[in-house]
Structure 1
């Protein structure tokens, strides 16, 4: 089996993702800057589970998805109050377009968990706090999933001012309700990003009533987990805890710090020659002999092999680039008797472009403490997003985060799947 065939098999690339039209968090942006496909994301290693919902609400996979207790190698830095944007894809490697099947309607939520060691601490367990959620808006007839699709799979949110400096798992939760009532199967699609907040309060103080353990924050019996989207009876109640947006208390010198860390565990190495998801290819040692040249070839391909193992769901474009442009270039020179090296080769990370304009943060105002989360039984805020799809309703929000009142719409009927 050749390398490409092995990679396709490892990725589970087949008609399955298109047929099921599920989804996976595939890219993180920080203040509109792409961190690279798959970078700083905990991702499934089993290609058959790449875009699948969690199997069992009591599973540890409810925390960060399949293999969610296995840390990614990298942690991405974010300034205090940064806007994070998650990009969801049906095909994580962007080989085909798609976000999630339109029939998979339901709410979305964002959680965080502060961890001391992001490269060792488990995702499952206590310490999770919901920052934001969005369910169904009876005025617009739109679910959060509708808005996610309209925004090309992009969901933006601000880091609240009360997040202490340090390491966090930032968890996305999409709940698809298309089979929740008929088959008792609420489908949870969850993923986590590893983020280091560079500055902020010294402590992350959250009232106990907002802290939950995952798994355990839902059990499936909640009204929001058994809701019939085909014959709905409103209002819809979002499962899980109430959201909490911590605010910094600038008047307290004991809790606020302007200290900014310059180095932290899991930071992407500054000497990376090329990056693919959470793999980093580093410079090879200089050589000037035939033995040194062939040793460099072996060392180069050895680094490349690690890029494919495990194979990230977001693809291996930069693994191929490393092998083709650097390793094979050295190999060719060795064969020609040119033993001075390594050669200067331009290696620029290949990443998929954003599928549309970065939308406005759904919790606009959280960074400066002016955002107040809404409860599970209230109509949700629809943020105004500059997207390419002109069918999106234009909702202008005030500084306080209150949506303007659009014209009422009936709930759309959808084909059952």
Structure 2
């Protein structure tokens, strides 16, 4: 049986440490906090959690340290919702602060559609950028300086053209204080796991020129990764692709929208409806009722076993609710068993603890992205007939197929690559991807996109 003293000492030993950098620690959906570390691929090792990623070819560039491991929970969101990302110098907010003022540079937000949100490694193809900002010459401020002014909060609207489904959403900060002198750009990033519940029907068709592999979209030699912020020569060019924001039509019929009729508990990684207390991506579940001595002591064991799972691994954002679970519930059961009160479990009020928002939730930096397009034209930033500007169910001569979950496509598989995390092109060998061998000669246009020339893709 685990004692409270042991658990408390374990929590102290695993307490997060700040290295004067920053971490994406919490996010809000339409102003509502989802909880510290909840639905976020939080680093499993607390020691480097706020450290920058300096190797742009590393898989860590996709979703941060330990970001190839899915979080246990996925948060539901409506189409066009405003997501607010919170960055902290201390993962558990024990001290205020967003990022050191010397760490000046741009911000970006990327999105990746996935079919396997809990197991997808994040690294690889399928990413596109929905927004970025570098240096504002009118205000003479870098994006990170605006982030500091907003107390670490950055809000974006989800594009209205995201079909219902699972997405990784990746806020990114780039600090340039050592980029020119030492050739070390510092990236700070993470990924939220969300499910868009009521987006438009159809496939997410991102124009080929906006799609990137992460890692692979940068090599570190870009001017924006080697910029001298102390003797700047503007304009500054932000590394990575140009943003693309798919927009849905304003004249869509209800039949063209995926209006979910099932509860959010049906999605992969849904937070259990009977969750008594949550800490990051852990949930304490109800203890089985008991009415005798053996049942009482079994409940003690069960309770502390759940508490142990909360600490192992301990999230970088802290264990305050793990402490609550053990102290308020497990200890209460243990005390009653010791007093020979074998009816239970006792009713205990468990309220999720977490820091207050550091400041007012700011308006979305890409206001209007969540709105529907006017009927008369394509979405801004896209060309007629490309991308998800009109989010049609009509795929031309393509059959209606399931999105490939394993990278196979064409033939008798019944799978299309459009929307697959492996890439949107189906090769002649029946493999999804977005490289020349997938999108070039022999590409199966009935099961994905095909490149017709440099930078062109037949949709």
d(CA) in 1 for partners of 2:197 and 2:229? 42
Q: Contact (CA 8 Å) 1:174, 1:190: kept in 2 or not?
A: yes
Q: Contact (CA 8 Å) 2:69, 2:120: kept in 1 or not?
A: no
TM-score (norm 1): 0.86
Select between 120-129 and 197-206 the one with higher mean Cα deviation.
197-206
Q: Contact (CA 8 Å) 1:10, 1:46: kept in 2 or not?
A: no
SS in 2 for 1:200: coil
d(CA) in 1 for partners of 2:106 and 2:12? 32
Corresponding position of 1:131: 130
Corresponding position of 1:215: 215
SS in 1 for 2:204: coil
d(CA) in 2 for partners of 1:363 and 1:256? 25
Match of 1:287 among 290, 296, 301: 290
Q: Contact (CA 8 Å) 1:23, 1:88: kept in 2 or not?
A: yes
Following superposition, the deviation at residue 190 of structure 1 comes to 1.2
Corresponding position of 1:341: 344
TM-score (norm 2): 0.78
Q: Which has the larger radius of gyration?
A: 2
Q: 1:34 to 1:213 in 2, by over 3 A?
A: same
Following superposition, the deviation at residue 122 of structure 1 comes to 1.3
Q: Contact (CA 8 Å) 1:161, 1:247: kept in 2 or not?
A: yes
The C-alpha deviation readout for 1:204-243, integer Å capped at 9, x for no partner, is 1110110000001111111100000000001000000000
Q: CA-atom RMSD, angstroms?
A: 1.7
Following superposition, the deviation at residue 6 of structure 1 comes to 2.7
d(CA) in 1 for partners of 2:189 and 2:334? 43
Following superposition, the deviation at residue 327 of structure 1 comes to 0.3
State how 1:15-414 maps to structure 2 within 5 Å: 17=18, 20-202=19-201, 203-251=203-251, 256-260=256-260, 261-262=262-263, 263-369=266-372, 372=380
d(CA) in 2 for partners of 1:199 and 1:328? 43
d(CA) in 1 for partners of 2:86 and 2:14? 22
d(CA) in 2 for partners of 1:373 and 1:150? 29
Following superposition, the deviation at residue 357 of structure 1 comes to 0.5
Following superposition, the deviation at residue 111 of structure 1 comes to 0.4
Corresponding position of 2:389: none
* Runs of 4+ with >6 A deviation: 252-255
Following superposition, the deviation at residue 8 of structure 1 comes to 3.2
Corresponding position of 2:422: none
Q: Contact (CA 8 Å) 1:21, 1:101: kept in 2 or not?
A: yes
Following superposition, the deviation at residue 55 of structure 1 comes to 4.0
SS in 1 for 2:294: helix
Following superposition, the deviation at residue 351 of structure 1 comes to 1.3
Corresponding position of 1:401: none
The C-alpha deviation readout for 1:361-398, integer Å capped at 9, x for no partner, is 00000111468579xxxxxxxxxxxxxxxxxxxxxxxx
SS in 2 for 1:84: strand
